[in-house]
Amino acid sequence: MMKKISVLGAGSWGTALAMLLDENGHEVTIWSIDQKEVDMLNNEREQKEKLPGVKIADSIHVTNNLEEAIKGRQVLIFAVPSVFVRSTAKSAAPFYEKGQIIIDVAKGIEENTLMRLSEIIEDEIKGSIVCVLSGPSHAEEVARRIPTTVVVGAKDHAMAKELQNDFSNSWFRAYTSPDILGIELGGALKNVIALAAGICDGLKFGDNSKAALITRGVAELSRLGVAMGGKPETFAGLSGIGDLIVTCTSTHSRNHNAGYLLGQGKTMQEAMDEVKMVVEGVYSAKAALMLAAKYNVEIPIIEQVNEVLFYNKPVKEAVEDLFLRDTKREHEDLSWH
């Protein structure tokens, strides 16, 4: 069924999803707070900075008017960087209409409140219906119709199925899940692990190191996520290990690329400036550490990433400290009889 859908945020991911939904027969609007970005998309029909070479259909409407983007729409997709989710939700609140479905597709944890992004939207837009979409899905590939799978999280099963149908086609497949908390935590925490993976590559480590990092990274995000109420299956799924693999191994990943620069000796600010896009893992790293302290969970990789990011710890020293920790079992719940 055709729907009127607005994508709030005209970055690479928002633009790619707008193209997908337009192809699926929906009436799509893109909103951006940046008038220059709106003019570029309207005049060039291309997100030249973030998705060069990919044209958007003439049927996609682009506007700077938030009220216009929200009024009369059945679905609103929040595709702004995580640090702008609260301000965008606050601006959108006066125009929100009862029954509109909000889908957050950004990934992160708010540092000062430790709130997930869906919680932030619910906090700013009272009575809103908030779902999430996550998984191994680089915008650069989705925009070029490369086969991709994601998971849609919703509190209501029928709504999850409906959104699954809205997004799915012959090259984009959506699964469903009730575990919104687990999906969001997997998406946020994997960005921090991806910074560590980039550091590994920047230091010219090999495949052994990357495999170890991804595997132990899954252990960290699973431990913390389950302690907070997420389901173990979620962290073994698309928004957990799936998203972690793609973010830790791809040159499309801004978190991996920022980590690579850190591994080469750049400072956090130098790395962020060179990547030229919001590096979500930097903003989630402190929040993850605070959540781990709150729930009494060990996350040594994320702890060392924080040391490198915020306390100028040399990356080689951080690696040594990870290896020189007390030895332990791989799985504490497995024992010798």
For residue 83, give the amino acid letter.
V
Q: Report residue 21 as tokens.
A: 């939904």
How many CB atoms neighbour CB 209 within 10 A?
A: 17
pLDDT at 27 exceeding the cut of 80: yes
- The CATH class that applies to domain 181-323 reads mainly alpha
What ranges do the domains of the chain cover? 4-178, 181-323
Distance between CA atoms of residues 177 and 157, nearest Å: 8
Q: Residue 335: pLDDT band by 50, 70, 90 thresholds? A: confident
Q: What is the DSSP letter of 55?
A: B
Q: What is the pLDDT of residues 266-282, one digit of tens each?
A: 988 888 888 877 788 88
pLDDT at 239 exceeding the cut of 80: yes
Q: What is the DSSP letter of 109?
A: B
How many CB atoms neighbour CB 43 within 10 A?
A: 9
pLDDT at 163 exceeding the cut of 90: yes
Distance of alpha carbon 327 from its chain centroid, rounded? Answer: 33
Question: What is the per-residue pLDDT for 16?
Answer: 98
For residue 263, give the amino acid letter.
G
Q: Residue 110: pLDDT band by 50, 70, 90 thresholds? A: very high
- Give the residue from 105, 141, 139 showing the smallest Cα distance to 121: 105
Q: What is the mean pLDDT of residues 317-333?
A: 90
Rounded to two decimals, the pTM is: 0.94
Question: What is the per-residue pLDDT for 145?
Answer: 97
Task: Give 3-state DSSP helix, strand, coil % of the chain, rounded to 5.
Answer: 55, 15, 35
Distance between CA atoms of residues 211 and 196, nearest Å: 12
Domains 4-178 and 181-323 share a fold: no
**Rg of the chain (C-alpha set):** 20
Distance between CA atoms of residues 3 and 77, nearest Å: 13
Backbone φ, ψ for residue 257 (5° rounding): -65, -40
- Give the residue from 295, 220, 307, 218 showing the smallest Cα distance to 262: 307
In 68-147, at which residue ranges do the beta strands (DSSP E only) sit? 75-78, 101-104, 129-134
pLDDT at 337 exceeding the cut of 90: no
* Length of the chain measured in residues: 337
Say which CATH architecture domain 4-178 belongs to.
3-Layer(aba) Sandwich (3.40)
Classify 191 as helix, strand or coil.
Answer: helix
Active site residues: 190
Question: What is the per-residue pLDDT for 1?
Answer: 82
Q: What is the mean pLDDT of residues 2-13?
A: 97
**Which residue in the block uniquely carries the two structure tokens 């908390």?**
181
- Give the residue from 221, 219, 167 showing the smallest Cα distance to 192: 221
Question: What is the per-residue pLDDT for 206?
Answer: 92
Sheet with 101-104: strands ordered across: 61-63, 27-31, 4-8, 75-78, 101-104, 129-134, 148-153, 172-177
